[in-house]
A and B are shown apart, each in its own frame.
Chain A
Amino acid sequence: MLVRLEIRCLSAAYYWALQGCLFVCVLAALAASGQLALAQPAPPAPPSRFIVVLDAAHGGDDTGGRLSNGQFEKSFTLAISVRLRSLLAVRGIQVVTTRDADATIDPNRRAEIANHAQALACLSLHASESGSGVYLFASSLPPAAPARFPAWKTAQAAWVTRSLKLTGVLNSALLNAGMSVTMARYPLPVVDSMTCPAVAVEIAPEQGAGHEKSGGLDDRNYQARVAAALAAALVEWRTEARQP
């Protein structure tokens, strides 16, 4: 009798041990195939500090375009970057810049600086004599789920939804400042590698009501208005960016 009971107990133990092993195997298989929600990395949580990265495009040997007053694009973007950094610092916003002088910075290095800063807004500043007003460009990458190790060329995909929101905030602020704004989505080599809400801002001469160019890029008043509008947008973004 005792022997039979012992055999039954042992059989039950083996049965449940086998069931447990099977359960663990199924869990492992699900995790490996990526079907288990728990196995996916959590969406990137907003950093506690609000940091803005300003990327003054070009620099050093890379002069960028030549503007109508003979100035190079690299000088204009640096001037706007310095002006915007001052405006943001006054408002208590921490700013990281990719360059503070006329230096050649590799495009990958620019994205590295932005990614290490863990910023909540990254602006790549450009200028052009073509077109008019301010152009806002977000990455054309399709939105993707965040990955633990994103591909360098498409790292922005996990952030592109937030980048589009940031584009909307910038658009509103620039329109409120009375500027014409054009938005588009293009492949942007530096922005596509950034892991932060990122927008490329291209500043063109201002166009008046009669389609004449009323404010050139060398107009300091125009530069100040653009910088002030961008700063106002980033102040507003500070509250929105912390929302999940």
Chain B
Amino acid sequence: MIPRYQKILFVLLLVASLAMGAALWHLRELAHQKLLAGQNSAPTSAPAVAPAEQATLLVANDSDGSILTQLHSLPLPADPGARARAVLGKLLDLYAAPDAAHPVPGGASSVAQVFLLPAPEIAGAVPPAGKPKIKDSRAAVILSRKSRATTPGAPLQDARQTGPLLAVVNLTGSFAANHPSGIETEMLTVLSICGTLHANLPRITQVRFLVDGQQRATLAGHADLTRTYLAGDFLPAEEAIP
């Protein structure tokens, strides 16, 4: 014979277990909804309502190692950061196409964010004459890790509105992991990204790269991502001539 108090206790515990299970299920659903809502709010693509504009893309070609200018009409948002992300998205969409001359999987979603900051002055920067080219369609890179503030004491807002900009391109880890390995192919990707940014937003003079928000040594084992790249030096030779 089971005492009455034990029966009551069992029923109470059973009810409590069921209630806790229901609460857990409800919380799980809430967390899932919150996650989906967060994903939807991320600006993953340029708004379709924006007017279509001509964008200059510097498209790499693996067969001859060249980077050539292409004009594309696409909706571009007014905000410089979103604009930079939109043109890079289009560039990487071209690379992800099946018949791409520089095939790189990933597409537009490979650019997580583009941050625009006042550009630091590169110490000891060398003019273009100091970088003789072996192949005309490429540009050499002048690099320096030593940098200091552009205009010490100048208001940050002024520098953001009028001064040269440093673009920090945050790539996704999957893009870096799936990028073909090799000095040539990796550098073509880096150069075309830098050139495309400068061609569409001339105030962008320097570019740095992050992968999943972290600094990474190389893109896929070769191209150095720890450096600051001078974006203005990546235009093809014929474009650089005034």
Contacts and interface: CB of A to CB of B under 8 A. Distances in A.
B184 A153 contact: no
B135 A131 contact: no
Interface string B206-235: 000000000000001111100100000000
Contact of A73 (B138, B140, B187, B221): B221
A234 interface: no
A186 B218 CA distance: 14
A142 B181 contact: no
A58 B183 CA distance: 13
25 contacts: A65-B221, A66-B181, A73-B221, A126-B182, A126-B222, A128-B183, A128-B185, A130-B180, A130-B182, A131-B65, A131-B184, A135-B183, A137-B184, A140-B141, A142-B130, A142-B131, A185-B138, A186-B141, A186-B187, A186-B223, A187-B141, A187-B143, A188-B183, A189-B224, A211-B63
Contacts of B133: 185
Contacts of A27: none
Contacts of A188: 183, 224
Contacts of A127: 182
Contacts of B221: 58, 62, 64-65, 73
B217 to A, nearest CB: 8
**Chain A interface residue number, banded:** 20 to 34
Given A130-B62, A140-B140, A140-B142, A184 B134 contact: yes
B181 to A, nearest CB: 3
Given A128-B180, A142-B142, A188-B224, 9 more contacts: A65-B221, A129-B182, A131-B63, A138-B134, A142-B126, A182-B135, A183-B134, A202-B184, A211-B63
Interface in A72-109: 73
Contacts, number: 95
Given A73-B221, A167-B134, A189-B224, A182 B140 contact: no
A142 B145 CA distance: 15
Interface in A168-202: 182-189, 200, 202
A185 B134 contact: yes
Contacts of A184: 65, 134-135, 138, 184, 187
Contact of B185 (A58, A131, A138, A143): A131
Contacts of B130: 142-143
Contacts of A183: 134-135
A202 B63 contact: no
Interface in B165-181: 180-181
A184 B140 CA distance: 8
